[in-house]
Structure 1
Amino acid sequence: MMLILKTTTFKKPIKFLLKGSIIFPKNKDFETFDRIEFYKKYIQPLYEEFGKWDGSPDDLKEFSGWNVGNKNFFSSDFLDPYFYTLLKSSEDNSDLRSLGKSIFYDQNLSQNGKMSCAACHLQENAFTDLKIKSQSNVEGKTVLRNSPSLYNAVFAKRFFYDLRAFYLEQQAEHVIYNDDEFNTSYEDIIKKLKTKPEYKKAFRTAFKDGKINKENFSKALSSYVASLYSFDSDFDRFMRNEKDVSDDIKKGYNLFMGKASCATCHFAPHFSGLVPPFFNENESEVLGVTSKPVNDLPVELDTDLGRGNSPVKKEKSWIYDYSFKTVTVRNIALTKPYFHNGAFNTLEEVLDFYNEGGGEGLGLKMKNQTLPPDKLDLTKTEISQIIAFLNSLTDVSKAK
């Protein structure tokens, strides 16, 4: 698994960088430590230098999503999307993505002919729907939770807020069979596709066997969703030394990574709960999410048990009650309302909730909260700086 080094001694650039990285943090405390300067002066250069050494990338491919050929933490190829999907890179191509996009936007594939994937995942809203809870196929009814963004959604080992699906393809299957969503089956979808000349042509173009079946349908849809990258935000470009950003954004990032403790769950550079260093498991957290913003009294715990009600039997335990997947905060400025229940309409409301220490910090009885209940003591200025950083993660340039 470990990289195979050419020599047992470090090269001069690496020696210099390692020495500097040890000296730099001295005489700095946790809150004033400049993580951006440290990253740019030492971490990224070390990453590039070590990348020049001979390695054994195949050792990692079996259990890690990290792309050992990557040169920068904040570029789109940091993780390999094909580690997270049943689709192989050798199978993927532009024709397959095009077919997948057609499927994604096709309402006729649902039982009532009125719902497509795009009904709850609109491109202009970073592939969310801006609704408190997403629509059902039943008039006037909603599904249980808020719709998460599909940007970078492929980079996960578990799907849905309760982590009940283990592959991107399985996630789609849950939607297809859900009575409140597509309310159909693969058999019915395949029958419909076979009646359309345009789909017959598209499947022949995308696949050697040209078959319209469940396997090829899933590959096409996965190809499209896996193509929805978002790694060209202002902050990404700043960390790649392609542009500068405001002091508020820089201070906000340092607060995010430090005093505010956001990065203890939202790991850089994807800012999601995909756990480093191997990026092969997803975290869920118990935050004690309330049914409405903290200033809207009385404060009450949201009743959704989340992972505690997951159909994954081996995870049936009280420790997962009120536990929800840690989703990415990339494009968060475009994806309100927030949390699984859509109860928070602004980022200020979200930061106020965390500032109080979540549900337990607000005085709710929580036996298993994983978020520390301590007050963060963030000032209004610091909250605005964190929001400035979060806004700098907006990037919708890669939608295809």
Structure 2
Amino acid sequence: MMVGGNAYLDHAATSPMPDAVLDAYVEALRTVGNPASTHGHGQRASQVLESARDRVARLVGCDHAELIFTAGGTESINLALKGLYWSRRRAGAGPVVLVAAGEHHATVEAAEWLRDTQDAELVWVPIDERGLLAPDALAAAIDEAGADRIAVVSFLWANNEVGTVQPVRELCRIAAEHGIPAHVDAVSALGQVPIDFAESGAAALSLSAHKVGGPVGVGALVLGRRVTADALLHGGSQQRSRSGTQDVAGAVAFAAALALVLDEDGRPRASTIEHVESLRERLISGVRAADPSAVLRGAPLGPGRLPGNAHFTFPGCQGDSLVFLLDAAGVSVSVGSACQAGVAEISHVLLAMGVAPDEAAGALRFTLGHATRPAEVDALVRALPGAVRAARAAGLS
């Protein structure tokens, strides 16, 4: 999608809202009444809300009662990790929290908070050079920590930086065989790979609407029927494990966005995936032509990688410089590193994959969506050689 005449290749950060979703959102904003109220207006609002819940639940393979609407992926992850930890500890589980290396900062910081304030023992499970959490690595971590001492395990469905898709069913099976609930962060995977909560074996699953063209500030936590998570928010008990007046319009827009990217069986639309993959191949070829020294990071192209992801490191460049230079040329991309409180940091994901710090400093993430057009990829390919030359001339200072 050309936004304001510019090329937008940062869909993993947020994906633009299609007109059909915006229309559904605006119409739902006209709904009068609190869905928790018992009068007619409230009950009509409740009907709209629950219809949206049904649609989202069906598309992600869970029951209606298992879907908890939240204010986004960060809240969902925090509710899952903290809620499961507290609930499990009260039930007699041990204090260990297993987290895969290279997770999203929402998971990393929630887990570190549990360690620093709630007496959790945080254990990082290593990932390999592709960003993959191998089942053997998880099994070894469980054996080393002791299954009866582990409260919860958490990992991404697909890495949000390098796009590597994890063997979710196998990882969840290993956790379940040891009686450990597995939380899976599916925020970056939603809309790009099939997600079926029931088949995954996960105890909890985090989702966010704005990664698939829904509104910012809307998400969901899928919590298995037999799983208990203590609440983060108190004051009404409108939803299981979550209090707060529910966002009817946000739920409607989330459902509308999912319906555009998924078919009736909850699988990403084949035509969309083919479109995105073909543009990604065009992008990768263009990047390699512009800078043959650029290194594609993550899993090989194929089912083990998100179709809309291409992550490169550019030797001798600073990723932030490349972002600035490309932005000046009208192309929006992102660094592979996180920027916390305005301070650029080398990507913890790449470091966990064993990439040397000086190489990791030159990371760029290109992410495509169903509305991406060839002209946007071509704009990047035209702008990249000059940006690389300028960034390399500036060095890593």
| Structure with higher strand content | 2
Q: Which has the larger radius of gyration?
A: 1
Greater RCO, 1 or 2 (C-alpha within 8 Å, sep 6+): 2
| Structure with higher helix content | 2
**Do both proteins adopt the same fold according to a TM-score greater than 0.5, normalized to the shorter chain?**
no
